[in-house]
Chains A and B, each alone.
Chain A
Amino acid sequence: MTQYMLAVHHRETDAEIDEATVQQMFADVDAFNKKVTAAGIWVFGGGLEPRETATVVDGRGGKRVVTDGPFIEAKEWLGGFWVLECPDLDAALALAEEASRACQGEVEVRPFQAE
């Protein structure tokens, strides 16, 4: 089994969505989470607060340097992710398709390094 990250990215160009759509998305994501948990393949997952809440820490210089805001002002940023346990990429892609429909966004699938 391999662990895959199913990452959801937000983009600057994403359209605003209305409240009903948001509620639908929450319900669908919740159903997806229940399904992968019941299947025993859920490792971790969740949505992130907006990127304005991010703080960057640099400890390389021996002294902690704390900066407000995300690492870079990207046109695209991580909005949330799942970590799921799958036998192979095809299985992960099938789940990503469901996840994408539930969260109404594109989903990037990446394998974790084997230990």
Chain B
Amino acid sequence: MTTAHQNPARAALDRVVRAEFGLIVAGLTRRFGDLDLAEDMAQEAVAEALQRWPDEGVPRNPAAWLTLTARNRAIDRLRRESSRQSRHREAYDMLPPPEDVDPSDVVTASELTDDRLRLIFTCCHPALAQESQVALTLRLLGGLTVAEIASAFLVEERALAQRITRAKKKIAAARIPYRVPEDHDLPERLEAVLTVVWLVFNEGYLPQAEASERVDLVDEAVRLARVLGQLMPDEPEVWGLLATLLLTRARSAARLIDGRLVPLQDQDRSRWDAAMVAEGHALVRRCLQANRPGPHQFLAAVNAVHTDAATAADTDWDQVVALYDQWLAVAPTPVVELNRAVAIGERDGAAAGLAIIDELDLARYHAWHVARAEMLQRLGRKSEAVQAFRAGLGLATIPAERAHLGLRLAELGSLPPEA
């Protein structure tokens, strides 16, 4: 991974290959019905590409080249194994000889779409643990190596490899189907997929710990969300997720100072990425037109209001509160209620915000204490604010957030308790 990032030509090749990896795995899985074989052969094709392309040049259609190479390798392997293992004979009998395969007929566009959708829903099947869903999605669809995923999530490579192996075994043994869910299951199954992308994004955006070398999970999540958008062009929740990711990522350059989280209202807005904000806003407008609201779209809309304000003081809090009200009507959760209470605090004053916050049963959640602390401080109740900030710091796990809370305590003339 290190060399890939140091060598621009190699990094560019890695990007091409990674972009096609999910396609190759998806197509092979449909053809051969074996996720394991598909992954292995895709990996071999990628290795061959990385070896040959630097000298021979990148082929005009990298996807077709990789798919064809992986497919021929799969056929070779099945041929070899069919003499030993009868269980592959059936698959082997259905195969055309490798030389008969014409690159132009490898796949059609709609087949590609269907295959990758099948792969996504298989990787994010609810019968798999969420960590496995995330790992499988990044590995099989995102084309990240096991080493890259392990270092991104700060887990041992061997443990992650085992997790992926176990998940693939379960998919095969329990017969987790390789297909797009039926309409009546789709909302729930889609939610699982969106959650996986969201988890990938969050780990990249607010890492649980700093790692010196790791792939950019924020970029990966945006890329996955874009793929989902292409594959499911009629799902506004997918646009909502993509919009939220873009509108959040747009603020990347302004959100950290010396490893410390800078709250939205204190960010230097001139450092926001205007193009990304514009793309996010366009997506939110598309969501509004579709008029099929859902949680991801509400979150995107709230982010759109924030990123629409030239300064924090210009924020249209009426609009933010209205969005939270609609969100709660559709999908009430205590966390959304907390965010609404914060918006009420901005619009109607800290006392009004605090009154709602105090009603919520969220004492185990660090953000509840932090929201209380901010309201208490604005009300001049300093010692209670210090107490609440300390409680929040005690529950917060993300280093950048902890650094921010430490600073807030220092501003109140209080030292953060020794961790």
Cα(A109)–Cα(B175), bound, Å: 12
Q: How far is the CB of A71 from chain B (nearest CB, A)?
A: 25
Query: Which of A8-16, A76-84, A87-95 sits within the interface?
Result: A87-95
Cα(A87)–Cα(B174), bound, Å: 10
Q: Do B175 and A93 touch (CB < 8 A)?
A: no
Q: How far is the CB of B169 from chain A (nearest CB, A)?
A: 11
Residues in A whose Cβ lies below 8 Å from that of B109: none
Q: Which residue in B125, B174, B177, B181 is a CB contact (below 8 Å) of A111?
A: B174
Contact count A vs B, C-beta below 8 Å: 25
Q: Does A2 contact B (CB under 8 A)?
A: yes
CB neighbors of B among A79-115 (8 A): 87-90, 93, 109-111, 113-114
Q: How many residues of B contact A (CB 8 A)?
A: 9
Residue of B125, B127, B175, B185 most packed against chain A (CB within 10 A): B175
Q: How far is the CB of B136 from chain A (nearest CB, A)?
A: 15
Residues in B whose Cβ lies below 8 Å from that of A109: 174
Q: With CB as the reference atom, state the residue of chain A lying closest to B173.
A: A111
Cα(A110)–Cα(B173), bound, Å: 9
Q: Does B91 contact A (CB under 8 A)?
A: no
Cα(A113)–Cα(B381), bound, Å: 65
Residues in A whose Cβ lies below 8 Å from that of B127: 89, 93
Residues in B whose Cβ lies below 8 Å from that of A114: 173
Cα(A109)–Cα(B126), bound, Å: 13
Residues in A whose Cβ lies below 8 Å from that of B37: none
Cα(A89)–Cα(B181), bound, Å: 12
Q: Do A88 and B173 touch (CB < 8 A)?
A: no
Q: How far is the CB of B181 from chain A (nearest CB, A)?
A: 8
Q: Which residue in B125, B175, B181, B185 is a CB contact (below 8 Å) of A2?
A: B175
Interface string of B163-188 (1 = CB under 8 A from A): 00000000001111100010001000
Cα(A113)–Cα(B181), bound, Å: 25
CB neighbors of A among B113-167 (8 A): 125, 127
Residues in A whose Cβ lies below 8 Å from that of B181: 90
Cα(A88)–Cα(B125), bound, Å: 13
Q: How far is the CB of B173 from chain A (nearest CB, A)?
A: 5
Q: How far is the CB of B288 from chain A (nearest CB, A)?
A: 34
Cα(A90)–Cα(B182), bound, Å: 10
Cα(A113)–Cα(B173), bound, Å: 7
CB neighbors of B among A11-65 (8 A): none
Residues in A whose Cβ lies below 8 Å from that of B125: 89
Q: Do B173 and A90 touch (CB < 8 A)?
A: no
Residues in A whose Cβ lies below 8 Å from that of B174: 2, 89, 109-111
Q: With CB as the reference atom, state the residue of chain B lying closest to A112.
A: B173
Cα(A88)–Cα(B177), bound, Å: 6
Residue of A87, A90, A114 most packed against chain B (CB within 10 A): A90
Q: How far is the CB of B222 from chain A (nearest CB, A)?
A: 30
Residues in B whose Cβ lies below 8 Å from that of A111: 173-175
Residues in B whose Cβ lies below 8 Å from that of A110: 174
Given contacts A89-B174, A110-B174, 11 further A-B contacts (CB under 8 A): A2-B174, A88-B175, A88-B177, A89-B125, A89-B175, A90-B176, A90-B177, A93-B127, A111-B173, A111-B174, A113-B173
Please name 22 pairs of A and B residues whose Cβ atoms are closer than 8 Å in the assembled complex, sorted by A. A2-B174, A2-B175, A87-B175, A87-B177, A88-B176, A89-B125, A89-B127, A89-B174, A89-B176, A89-B177, A90-B176, A90-B177, A90-B181, A90-B185, A93-B127, A109-B174, A110-B174, A111-B173, A111-B174, A111-B175, A113-B173, A114-B173
The 9 closest A-B pairs by CB, nearest first: A88-B177, A88-B175, A111-B174, A89-B174, A89-B176, A2-B175, A89-B175, A90-B177, A111-B173
